Structure 1
């Protein structure tokens, strides 16, 4: 009788391994197909008023611009007189003037603000945010205590005078511009200019960018001006741990 141990057949084991490998390959292909099929899709959802703004990963966004506008405009309007009294005129004794007309001419009224536009001097392109920032500032000015001039009227007056917004700092150009607005029935008391600047600090693969929104208000009657600004700092990093690594509790950002 042959008592030598029989060798176990490797054929079933090889078959089982091949089946497992085939199953894994099929699952891998299915995952890739699902990922590839969803790559071109985009989903949207409505945000509630108390939802936080999305923080941009490569440039400033709503979380940066919205607080800058609200803070800078509120600070500026809090310093600007809400009413303007026109310059009184001298009348001779022999002039027969209606007292009611004189009182009406000297009665203060809501100040009229002409928002000229936004000048971008930052390192980023504003894109579609430029027009939205204009509308946000213009709407906040026209909240009740002040009167704003329509953007269409302002742009038309600039074209008629053949002037750029930055050329209105010259008194002669400013007088011509305000006279054109006055003839159209929209006298102006203040000219408002907005400027966006930025400063970038790089540290290896991390960077910090400081966004500054400056508002300058010029009184067309006296030439005096007010200036207010608001700043937001924003950090950019290549990894999720970059925020902790550079702005953690141990002052790692000092170098």
Structure 2
């Protein structure tokens, strides 16, 4: 019987091996110059950024801080009265909040100031819209058009931080009032961060602070939300710093 020798070291074997290696690299690391996308469902988790804050950081910060702030703001004031000779007589003295009785309070969202260690890029506009939308979804508050706010700032030549002075607030409010938009509250948002480094790992604490100023009294409320995020050069660094049973990260 003749035995046929199979040559496994020829050019065909090398080509097949090379193709398998290239295919494996493409599947694991992605072929150079190519990018793939897919739509996310509402219940899909946000992607966790590997080098900076992203949707998984900013969205919860907005949701928590807005909910905490609006829950503390005083509701619209309804004056108490009694009826005498078919005429309603008020027994409450006029107050700074009495103007809110006719409807929801108007909130002028001035802007977002980034004091963190990161550039937030296109997230700044998205954060603004997310905060503004949640204000308008609340039954006792309604926002003022951002375009009108920017126009009033240009006309008065005022910076957002200068609105903390009473005389500047009145000038700014009068301009919006002439446009048919009375103002009850001014809203300011500030982003800050604090970084802790340890060898090749770091932790960054992100804080979003919202400050609501009553235009008529100058009283203000502040609420904030914080998210801590760890950064490591390797996945093992995360386990070393925070333990192996922490939530999966990106």
Structure 2: distance between partners of 1:108 and 1:116: 24
Q: 2:218 matched to 1:208?
A: no
Once the two structures are superposed, the pairs formed by residues 66-105 of structure 1 within 5 Å of their partners are 66-83=59-76
Name which of 215, 237, 242 aligns with 1:242.
Answer: 237
Structure 1: distance between partners of 2:77 and 2:194: 37
Aligned length: 222
Q: 2:34 matched to 1:41?
A: yes
Aligned to 2:214: 219
Q: Secondary structure of 2:9's match?
A: helix
C-alpha change, 1:84 and 1:181, in structure 2 (3 Å) is: farther
Compute the displacement of 1:108 (Å).
Answer: 4.2
Aligned to 1:55: 48
| 1:81–1:111 CA contact under 8 A, matched in 2 | no
List structure 1 runs of 4+ shifted beyond 3 angstroms: 21-25, 31-37, 103-108
TM-score by length of 1: 0.79
Once the two structures are superposed, the pairs formed by residues 1-255 of structure 1 within 5 Å of their partners are 16=7, 20=9, 22-31=11-20, 34=23, 35=25, 38-83=31-76, 107-143=101-137, 144-248=139-243
Q: Secondary structure of 1:241's match?
A: helix
Structure 1: distance between partners of 2:141 and 2:99: 18
Compute the displacement of 1:68 (Å).
Answer: 0.2
| 2:194–2:205 CA contact under 8 A, matched in 1 | yes
C-alpha change, 1:206 and 1:160, in structure 2 (3 Å) is: same
Q: CA RMSD in A?
A: 2.8
Aligned to 1:9: none
Unaligned runs of 5+ in 1: 1-11, 87-98, 251-255
C-alpha change, 1:188 and 1:29, in structure 2 (3 Å) is: same
Bigger radius of gyration among the two: 1
C-alpha change, 1:172 and 1:202, in structure 2 (3 Å) is: same
